[in-house]
Structure 1
């Protein structure tokens, strides 16, 4: 935790958050290096000097007793619990937990039990090396919270200042999305990404199955690759016993898909359903800048996996698409993505030369 991208960045990040606190807010700080200890008891947000001083006292230790630290953090959250307020534990970690409760299933059970009491869990990852991103994301998922990886002061400001509402204020729980494509319009489809979020079809209507949370102002983008029926662009060979594309049911010939969304309001146990058809007449003839940039991000992710799923999308094509869709980019997020692509390219394909100039 000594390196600049670990404890020093953690202090800087949480200091940004502390400066956003209001007098009615309460915060406590728990350290869990070796053994868990209380650094700051529940303190109101207007005592920022005390909060910042407590952050500055944090020191790196050897072992990481995350389980005991989480238990103490939840105890402090229960002590300072605000009825009808936002009650949340923020777990900042640079790696695996290596003493105390280290079994992932036990940690998930601990977090899931506390979730029932109305205290959510957000995880923030720092640094490289033994950092366990999968564990941090899983704990946030079962804790009705969210997860972010902080690698710079710019990212910390984005997550904890600019997007503080979506990071800390949950407005919908157990959000599930299900889409059914009309085979008369779509012969093949593929969801890009979200492999660790896929639910069984029967779990969509089951309110006992946990799903993701949505924060205030939070946006989620899901990309599907579609093959229009009769286009001749099918990737898969026809099935020996497969049927021909069915004729559309009466009144459904203009529908491309049917979208369903289930969610629970905070504190409720029964989900609410929103559903709507997606009609061909609603589709744009060309994607907008945000969707095109999202496609570039998806193409980059595919390149990191070996580049086997997107025909014709090499490093140059991804960079060209990202640069052409940069737009205003007031906070530098999109230009930062371009730099990330270039840095990754030198690691994944060091012999290649960039064919696209700035």
Structure 2
């Protein structure tokens, strides 16, 4: 019994002992917490390491891609450079032209323009006569347009206001007596009619604007004389770019369309040497003529003198008595080999015009453009100067106005206006600065002057100070009394005389017109051409505009735009807006 109790006590103690013991981690909660924190730290470290490794891999991949791209770019640049060097080695004469083509905007600093000053205000009491040559070119307008379209204001000497004003076609014909604008029909042998009108000068309320229109008689297509034309084309390296030789080629094809069977054409080219690209060919072989034009390529230097001599030889071979015998010189004006002295070229052209061969010039390009040479050669050659900046301009000059460009109805044309001091105190001629003549030159048939083509319309503009308006110059103390004009002439504002020769004539003819004060309402044409005159004067920085703004000029042009069937006036308004923007940027 006693042993049984002892056994029971031992078993109970063991049970109590087992119930009182717990595992070690439950007995030490602090140890449990430390272990968990270490595990979390290790996990975070592993995650951070993984992110860093991923970022490093991405950065390496990006760097490798960039390095690969740079290697490819350098390889391409090297390839391009090698190709360019190869091309230049194959065609060294094109290097200068390629550089010019890369410069989109021409540098006016390398072009050559003849310097001139604006016509001054003159007192009628002291200088009653305005004498000048009636030569009408339009090249300045197109050249100025090129500058503006290329984002540049033109050099002042590139702007000739009379060429701006006379650029725009007129719908006036000789039998048109509409609006009763003092139309004065000439007698039958005289190839002109004249009209004039007056209006307040839009830029100065103290001035009156006088516009004189002179219209040469036109000829019907079937009445046009046969033509012997020589295209003298500059194919030197400087003519390589698209706006030079390729434009000339397209332009000449427009003229070819107008050729008739009785017309003959030949093509002479000049570069380092000269050659006949097409001997004299009848106008009914248009495919042959166009193929010769397409075959032209730019190369070499510019031996203009030799080309000119060969062109005159071709003109002499195909000379048509009583017809149109004319050379059309198409170039950027850069004569740099051969007869490059302007005086020598002028003497050659002057000598040849006496034989009946005239010369017109077609200018292209901008960089190194020698406009002074182009204008002078055309003047001496009794021809026209035109500038071709677009194919549309070529269409105007060589197609729609071809008879005005090629067919002369009067040569050595001079004008002289005598202002009546009973009406006019002062006058200023707008434009024609390079056409001024001495008063005694008017009656001297040996003095060369301009030629006028069939159907050509000429506008003259004078800014007048009438008696009663505020004058710019003080009245002369000892001037004759302004009221002393004879009573039978007192109603005349001025007197216009025109002297000219017939195309085959040697002696000059004379026609005279009175310019009377008029109270008729000014025409739209009057106001539009006044706006164009203001545009040209503002581009030149004229002192006579009294701070006239571009906005005002645009407004005048818009109000007088008229029907504008050909869009020339709308284009003018756009050019005025361009000039305004460029002027604002510059100033």
Find the counterpart in structure 2 of residue 42 from structure 1. 280
Q: Kindly state the Cα deviation for residue 247 of structure 1 after the two structures are TM-superposed.
A: 2.5
User: How many residues in Structure 1 have an aligned counterpart in Structure 2?
Assistant: 349
Asked if the contact 2:315–2:327 (Cα under 8 Å) also holds between the matched residues in 1, the reply is: yes
Q: Kindly state the Cα deviation for residue 241 of structure 1 after the two structures are TM-superposed.
A: 4.4
Asked if the contact 2:333–2:373 (Cα under 8 Å) also holds between the matched residues in 1, the reply is: no
Asked if the contact 1:126–1:151 (Cα under 8 Å) also holds between the matched residues in 2, the reply is: yes
Find the counterpart in structure 2 of residue 291 from structure 1. 526
Residues 1:316 and 2:551 are matched in the alignment = yes
Find the counterpart in structure 1 of residue 472 from structure 2. 235
Separation (CA, whole Å) in 2 of partners of 1:39 and 1:325: 47
Q: Which deviations, in whole Å up to 9, do the C-alpha atoms of 1:81-140 show, x marking residues without a partner?
A: 111111100001113211111111111110000000001101111111111222111111
Residues 1:61 and 2:296 are matched in the alignment = no
Secondary structure class of the residue paired with 2:416: strand
Asked if the contact 1:229–1:245 (Cα under 8 Å) also holds between the matched residues in 2, the reply is: no
Asked if the contact 1:26–1:42 (Cα under 8 Å) also holds between the matched residues in 2, the reply is: yes
Residues 1:51 and 2:289 are matched in the alignment = yes
Residues 1:325 and 2:568 are matched in the alignment = no
Separation (CA, whole Å) in 2 of partners of 1:65 and 1:339: 39
Asked if the contact 1:307–1:314 (Cα under 8 Å) also holds between the matched residues in 2, the reply is: no
Structure showing the higher helix proportion among its residues: 2
Q: Kindly state the Cα deviation for residue 61 of structure 1 after the two structures are TM-superposed.
A: 2.1
Unpaired runs of 5+ residues, structure 1, are: 353-358
Q: Which deviations, in whole Å up to 9, do the C-alpha atoms of 1:68-87 show, x marking residues without a partner?
A: 11111111111111111111
Find the counterpart in structure 1 of residue 143 from structure 2. none
Query: Cα distance 1:348–1:103, how it changes in 2: closer, same or farther (>3 A)?
Result: farther
Residue from 520, 532, 537 that aligns with 1:302: 537
Find the counterpart in structure 2 of residue 257 from structure 1. 494
Residue from 437, 443, 447 that aligns with 1:199: 437
Residues 1:73 and 2:311 are matched in the alignment = yes
Separation (CA, whole Å) in 1 of partners of 2:476 and 2:310: 57
Asked if the contact 1:141–1:212 (Cα under 8 Å) also holds between the matched residues in 2, the reply is: yes
Find the counterpart in structure 2 of residue 356 from structure 1. none
Separation (CA, whole Å) in 1 of partners of 2:358 and 2:586: 46
Find the counterpart in structure 2 of residue 245 from structure 1. 482
Separation (CA, whole Å) in 2 of partners of 1:259 and 1:289: 23
TM-score (norm 2): 0.58
Residue from 548, 565, 569 that aligns with 1:334: 569
Separation (CA, whole Å) in 2 of partners of 1:313 and 1:61: 48
TM-score (norm 1): 0.94
Find the counterpart in structure 2 of residue 26 from structure 1. 264
Q: Which deviations, in whole Å up to 9, do the C-alpha atoms of 1:280-327 show, x marking residues without a partner?
A: 2xx244321112111111111111111421224221111111122222
Q: Kindly state the Cα deviation for residue 37 of structure 1 after the two structures are TM-superposed.
A: 1.3
Unpaired runs of 5+ residues, structure 2, are: 1-238
More displaced 10-residue stretch of structure 1: 296-305 or 197-206: 296-305
Separation (CA, whole Å) in 2 of partners of 1:43 and 1:349: 53
Separation (CA, whole Å) in 2 of partners of 1:109 and 1:234: 44
Find the counterpart in structure 2 of residue 101 from structure 1. 339
Secondary structure class of the residue paired with 1:221: strand
More displaced 10-residue stretch of structure 1: 296-305 or 311-320: 311-320
Residues 1:208 and 2:446 are matched in the alignment = yes
Residue from 514, 539, 548 that aligns with 1:277: 514
